[in-house]
Amino acid sequence: MKKTVLILFALLIVLSASGLAAEKLSVYNWGDYIDMDTIRQFEKETGIDVIYEVYETNEDMYARIANGKASYDVIFPSDYMVERMIRENRLTEINWDNIPNVKNIDPRFMSQSYDPENKYSVPYTWGTMGILYNADMVEETPTSWETLMDERYEDSIYMLNSPRDTLGIALIMCGYDLNSTNPDELEAAKQLLIRQKPLVQGYVVDEVKDKMIRGEAAVALVWSGDATYCMPENEDLNYVVPVEGSNIFFDAVCIPSNAKNVSAAEKFIDFLCRPDIAATNYEYVGYAIPNQAAIELMGEEEYNESPVNNPPQEILDKCQVFKYLGEDTKIYDQVWTEFISDF
Ligand code: N2P
């Protein structure tokens, strides 16, 4: 009896010691923004355990990092949020010697305005905002953001529960710049969203995909990659970037300044830049990718067949990137909280 207890004890100690020894990498990403097989393959190849958590918006991710309660090794901020986090010293400079696969990234996606010397971010995906519509449920093919105010779609519109995205589009609909910091213009955008309320079935983020696939609404404000994800699942679904112009976004991979395992983070980022990994990951995620070698691997022609991920230049020319607005971000926070809390 004594002996058995002792053996059990010894076993416990060995088990917990090996548990401690396993290297860990903590990844914080948008929902549905990586193929879980990509993670499993990374774990298998490196022996590193990935702890994976998801968020729905840049603002949620930022709040969690800024309040200091959590530390992550890898995050996926968008352009304006990269800019903000650089300015606030919240990101680690990337050691490019450890990311040799960056050579696969099309140089056009490097050194953009949000990280001009490309010190802190590795391009991951890009896309536009637009309208996902169900051709069977709309009266005519949408071409304008006005569709989102069309009374025929009462209770049949989904909007994004994301402050910059939804206020940005409302600003465009009012004829203003999507980076406006003018309080009167933001108030006008909020009033427009209040007028729109009876038409809106819900403010959602990741759930929009299943809802649109099931045909629960006629139209939805979405990010292009979510349209790519939905369209093969329901042949009535289609995507349009409205004529008034829209937002184009660039999402990146970064290492927060309080990361605990920078070397594993670099291994992970380099892995994501590998052409075979970027290609299979693209098949799942659906967002356009900056990885030229992966695109060639999949076949450029096939990749370019997606009208959602390859909008014509005249459409791209009408799209603008969100900028970090400094102190004026507070106006957005305030207007958005006022609006969404009594939706
Ligand atoms: C994926 C989130 C995409 C982020 N669910 C758009 N910037």
Please check whether residue 7 lies inside any domain of the structure: no
Output the CA 286–ligand 1 centroid distance in Å: 10
pLDDT at residue 1 tops 90: no
Q: Are residues 237 and 270 in the same domain?
A: no
Q: Could you give the CA distance from residue 311 to residue 241 in angstroms, rounded to a whole number?
A: 8
Please check whether residue 257 lies inside any domain of the structure: yes
Q: Give the residues surrounding ligand 1 with Cβ less than 6 Å away.
A: 30-33, 78, 206, 223, 249, 251
Output the CA 15–ligand 1 centroid distance in Å: 39
pLDDT at residue 199 tops 80: yes
Contacts of 241 (CB under 8 A, 6+ apart): 128, 129, 130, 224, 311, 315, 318, 319
Q: What is the mean pLDDT of the chain?
A: 95
Q: What is the pLDDT of residues 27-55, one digit of tens each?
A: 999 999 999 999 999 999 999 999 999 99
Query: Would you state the pLDDT for residue 3?
Result: 63
Output the CA 161–ligand 1 centroid distance in Å: 12
Please check whether residue 5 lies inside any domain of the structure: no
pLDDT at residue 152 tops 60: yes
pLDDT grade for 343, boundaries at 50, 70 and 90: confident
Q: Are residues 24 and 140 in the same domain?
A: no
Please check whether residue 106 lies inside any domain of the structure: yes
Query: Would you state the pLDDT for residue 342?
Result: 79
Please check whether residue 292 lies inside any domain of the structure: yes
Q: Whose CA is nearest to atom 6 of ligand 1?
A: 223
Query: Would you state the pLDDT for residue 18?
Result: 54
Q: Are residues 112 and 243 in the same domain?
A: no
Query: Would you state the pLDDT for residue 14?
Result: 53
pLDDT at residue 266 tops 80: yes
Q: Are residues 107 and 161 in the same domain?
A: no
Q: What is the pLDDT of residues 275-327, one digit of tens each?
A: 999 999 999 999 999 999 999 999 999 999 999 999 999 999 999 999 999 99
Q: Are residues 160 and 188 in the same domain?
A: yes
Query: Would you state the pLDDT for residue 304?
Result: 94
Output the CA 249–ligand 1 centroid distance in Å: 9
Element (H, E) at 27: strand 24-30
pLDDT grade for 69, boundaries at 50, 70 and 90: confident
Domain that holds residue 267: 19-125+249-304
Please check whether residue 10 lies inside any domain of the structure: no
Q: CA-based Rg of the chain, rounded to a whole angstrom?
A: 22
Q: How many domains does the chain have?
A: 2
- pLDDT, mean of residues 114-143: 98
- pLDDT, mean of residues 323-339: 97
DSSP string, 283-323: HHH-SB--BHHHHHHH-HHHHHT-TTTS--HHHHTTEEPPP
Q: Could you give the CA distance from residue 108 to residue 118 in angstroms, rounded to a whole number?
A: 12
Ligand 1 pocket: which of 223, 229, 247, 308 to mutate (most atoms within 8 A of CB): 223
Q: Are residues 211 and 335 in the same domain?
A: yes
Query: Would you state the pLDDT for residue 283?
Result: 95
Buried b (16+ CB within 10 A) or exposed e, 222-237: bbbbbbbbbbeebeeb
More reliable by pLDDT, 5 or 87: 87
Q: What is the pLDDT of residues 136-150, one digit of tens each?
A: 999 999 999 999 999
Using a pLDDT cut of 70, give the percent of the chain over it. 94
Q: Are residues 325 and 198 in the same domain?
A: yes
CATH number of the domain where residue 232 is located: 3.40.190.10
Q: What is the pLDDT of residues 218-238, one digit of tens each?
A: 999 999 999 999 999 999 999
Rounded to two decimals, the pTM is 0.93
Q: Whose CA is nearest to atom 2 of ligand 1?
A: 30
Q: Are residues 98 and 75 in the same domain?
A: yes
Q: Are residues 23 and 171 in the same domain?
A: no
pLDDT grade for 338, boundaries at 50, 70 and 90: very high
Please check whether residue 69 lies inside any domain of the structure: yes
Q: What is the pLDDT of residues 2-24, one digit of tens each?
A: 666 555 555 555 555 555 578 99
By C-alpha distance, which of 62, 55, 32, 29 is closest to 324?
Answer: 62
Q: Are residues 243 and 142 in the same domain?
A: yes
Output phi, psi for 36, to 5 deg.
Answer: -60, -25
Q: Are residues 180 and 156 in the same domain?
A: yes
Q: Are residues 320 and 188 in the same domain?
A: yes
- pLDDT, mean of residues 54-74: 96
Ligand 1 pocket: which of 246, 251, 281, 282 to mutate (most atoms within 8 A of CB): 251
Q: Could you give the CA distance from residue 303 to residue 241 in angstroms, rounded to a whole number?
A: 19
Please check whether residue 299 lies inside any domain of the structure: yes
- pLDDT, mean of residues 72-82: 98
Question: CB of 199 within 8 A of CB of 157?
Answer: yes
